[in-house]
Amino acid sequence: MKKNRSGALHAPDKIQKHKRSFFSFSTAVFSAILFTISLTIAKNLAVPAFASADDGAYVGLEFYGSPQISRAEVERMLGLHNGASYKSVLGAIERLKRQLKARRLEANIQAVTGDGTDIYLSVDILGDEDELPSRILENPQQVNFRSEEPLQLLEKLHQRLEFLEAQGRPANEEMRDGVKYYCDEPCNQIVKELLRHCQPMREELLYLIDHDPNAVRRTCAVELLSWAGEVPDTALRLLPAVDDIDLNVRTMVTRYLFKCLPLLPDDFPFQDMVEVYSRDLSRPSHDDRSKSLYMLLALVNKRPELIRQVKSLDAKRTEQLREHSLVPSIKLACGQFQRLFARANVGLTDVKPNLDFLPP
């Protein structure tokens, strides 16, 4: 393995032996692109949670408890009343973050839309004793992209998607043979360029995800894999990243796996995937809970015989979420599992769940 002058690692020689031109970024340009993309990624990953929230009204707090702070204290810090506006919710989030920081507490805080314009606030305090461990990066070192062009294209794609969203005509994703396209021709022109760059870089992107300590770089690399091909192998090698320490990385990995699930072959280790997402279901964030439920339902939909494994691992957790969650999508998903578990108890394991409520 070789280091450049700054000490950053490139992908191993065996990956690069057929490539003679390998060059580093201008540090300033690279940093600027990554900063812009990081802001866009954070916004885009929050889109399902914040959709149609501008005219929404606050409904309630989703808080599962913590030995470090009580629900009453969290509600006092928020200072919200039922019916408060979306703008008030955003202000309350910033206020809560400041007060938690003063107490040296960290939290995952997400505004989540429910039915119509209802807004729920999900607060999970980090650092509790029962928090699940995250994967440890292999020999963590900065890994350079071979070229800044894929990131520039990704930034350009995000800008186009944001423009369409602002115009009220969002470009829906379309998966074609494991490649992410959009129902917008200018976006697909960018996709063609991404395909040209990302397919030869697949090994490098996977290597970066396993080694680079910069979460924004890892998130970008996962997104770029949408245009790198070889879906079954890519999906298998991405599974450990479901346990990444960074929420945005975990969310991007799950989006990739969810979209590509129909393309995975019969000999794919689906049982391993069930174990990964059963573990992730207990992580402290709304995104982890919702996306783990969606993935587990999608896995049972693809392979109904997995319901017995899901039941043995998740029956208690899904019942807890069904009873205590305020968010309609969480309650619906857990209700689906309760019906599937009941049928499994009488030997009916070939019934597929209804996935109509899942986001596109």
CATH code at 65?
A: 3.10.20.310
Could you tell me if 182 and 248 lie in one domain? Answer: yes
Q: Output 25 or 265, whichever has higher pLDDT.
A: 265
CA 168 to chain CA centroid, nearest Å: 24
Rounded (10°) angle between helices 86-102 and 71-78: 120
Could you tell me if 283 and 355 lie in one domain? Answer: yes
Domain edge (last residue) among 259, 289, 323: 259
Query: What is the amino acid identity at position 306?
Result: L
Are 125 and 107 in contact by the 8 Å Cβ rule? The answer is: yes
Question: Has residue 3 got a pLDDT over 50?
Answer: no
The structure's pTM equals 0.81
Domain edge (last residue) among 259, 281, 312: 259
Could you tell me if 38 and 164 lie in one domain? Answer: yes
Question: Has residue 260 got a pLDDT over 50?
Answer: yes
Q: Is 2 within the bounds of a domain?
A: no
Q: What is the mean pLDDT of residues 172-201?
A: 92
Domain holding 243, by residue range, is 23-48+132-259
Question: Has residue 331 got a pLDDT over 70?
Answer: yes
Structural domains counted in the chain: 3
Could you tell me if 358 and 282 lie in one domain? Answer: yes
Tokens describing residue 116: 């119509």
Question: Has residue 77 got a pLDDT over 70?
Answer: yes
Question: Has residue 335 got a pLDDT over 80?
Answer: yes
Average pLDDT, the chain: 84
Could you tell me if 156 and 282 lie in one domain? Answer: no
Q: Is 4 within the bounds of a domain?
A: no
Q: Which of 97-106, 122-131, 236-245 has the lowest mean pLDDT?
A: 122-131
Distances (CA, A) of 129 to 84, 125, 132, 233, 325: 33, 11, 9, 35, 22
Tokens describing residue 55: 């005219």
- The rounded radius of gyration (Å) of the Cα atoms in the chain is 21
Could you tell me if 349 and 201 lie in one domain? Answer: no
Question: Has residue 310 got a pLDDT over 50?
Answer: yes
Domain edge (last residue) among 77, 107, 125: 125
Could you tell me if 142 and 251 lie in one domain? Answer: yes
Could you tell me if 242 and 348 lie in one domain? Answer: no
Under the banding of pLDDT at 50, 70 and 90, the label for residue 358 is low
Q: Is 7 within the bounds of a domain?
A: no
Could you tell me if 193 and 222 lie in one domain? Answer: yes
Could you tell me if 38 and 163 lie in one domain? Answer: yes
**H-run or E-run covering 179:** strand 179-182
Q: Is 11 within the bounds of a domain?
A: no
Question: Has residue 143 got a pLDDT over 90?
Answer: no
Could you tell me if 168 and 64 lie in one domain? Answer: no
Could you tell me if 30 and 58 lie in one domain? Answer: no
Residue 126 dihedral angles phi and psi, to the nearest 5°: -90, 160
